[in-house]
Amino acid sequence: MSPRTFFRLFTHLQLLPILEAGEETLVGGQAVMEGVMMRAPHSYCVAVRKPNGELVTSQMPIERISEKYKIFKYPLIRGLGTLYQALKLGGKALNFSAAASLEDEKSESKEKPKEMPGWVVGLPVIFSFLFFIFMYKAVPLYLVRQLAKVYPIFGGQVLSAIADGVIRLAILITLLYVLSRLKDMRRMFEYHGAEHKVVFNFESGQPVSIENAQRFTTFHPRCGTSFLVVVFLLAIPLYAMLPFHGFAALLLSRVVLIPFLIGISYELIFYAARKRGSLLALLTAPGLWTQRITTKPPADDQAAVAIRALEGAMALEKSQGGELVIA
């Protein structure tokens, strides 16, 4: 694996929670390398533009995790199950897109690209997880403790948790901005914008077309960007209540609390998405602002890829007897 390929896989894996609509919904999607994955309730399709311009797709039926395992129908637990399945499907879609988009530009093969071996994707997955723990758990905690040595007021639980949250969000925003300046990542953010526009187009009830999709905004309240920002914000009051003082104990407790934060955040996003006018809906506002970085206006050919992914998912859903009706 070349360093560039490893970097692209690593950054895409690191951004999976941001690019994925982590909710059991009618239609959702995710940007991948040079393409888009779209999900219907019981099917998904990923469409990717190969270097030679050819559009290739891969689709398969899926089962909602809440239908397969009843425990994931319950509050708090369902967020974990939904995110797990979303990341699992997202990883599979990313694997397919990587194999297709990294093919030799001179390749004339009409066959579907072969997915990369598990270890090729597994290495960046492990590295991405360790990077997340280091960058968003260990680094903010260390910086706040250093800050408290200069300004003792930040040694208190509340102020230290607030400072920790500000640093964590600053790291996230800075990292996303830097990535958005890179050509490969900017194209992925354009496909992210295409996915949002096409989903909005579908939800509007209008015929799904490039022209109609391009009329919609790229900022969607169900985006994984909003979800991750909510997770980061909720961590502030939760960390303020931790009774530990040692660096190792605090770091370990923050890692252990990740599933709980995911569960709570999912419930709040779940409610806010259905109560757009409620005070709780304000939670999605910072995520929508952040989408100014993680989504970019797509070109027509990128919107066409998102539409092809949606058509593939819908066709497979219909063949299984599913009804795609806007509620």
Q: With 0.75 as the threshold, say if the pTM is over it.
A: yes
Number of domains in the chain: 1
Domain-embedded: residue 37? yes
Domain-embedded: residue 327? no
Q: Provide the pairing of β-strand 35-40 with 55-61.
A: unpaired
Domain-embedded: residue 224? yes
As averages over each run of 10 residues, the pLDDT of the chain (327 residues) reads 61 62 64 90 90 90 82 83 80 84 56 57 72 92 95 91 94 91 89 93 92 92 79 91 90 92 83 65 77 92 95 86 47
Please write the tens of the pLDDT for every residue from 186-206.
Answer: 999 999 999 999 999 998 889
> For residue 159, what pLDDT is reported?
93
* 263 contacts: CB under 8 Å, gap ≥ 6: 75, 76, 77, 78, 79, 80
Q: Which pair of structure tokens corresponds to residue 290?
A: 């952040």
**Distance in angstroms (rounded) separating the CA atoms of residues 272 and 270:** 6
**Distance in angstroms (rounded) separating the CA atoms of residues 143 and 124:** 26
Q: What is the 3-state secondary structure of 237-277?
A: HHHHCCCCCCHHHHHHHHHHCHHHHHHHHHHHHHHHHHCCC
Domain-embedded: residue 173? yes
Do residues 24 and 66 lie in contact, with contact meaning Cβ atoms separated by under 8 Å?
yes
Domain-embedded: residue 326? no
Domain-embedded: residue 324? no
Domain-embedded: residue 325? no
The widest CA-to-CA distance across the chain, in whole angstroms, is 65
Q: Residue 297 belongs to what domain range?
A: 3-125+135-319
Domain-embedded: residue 160? yes
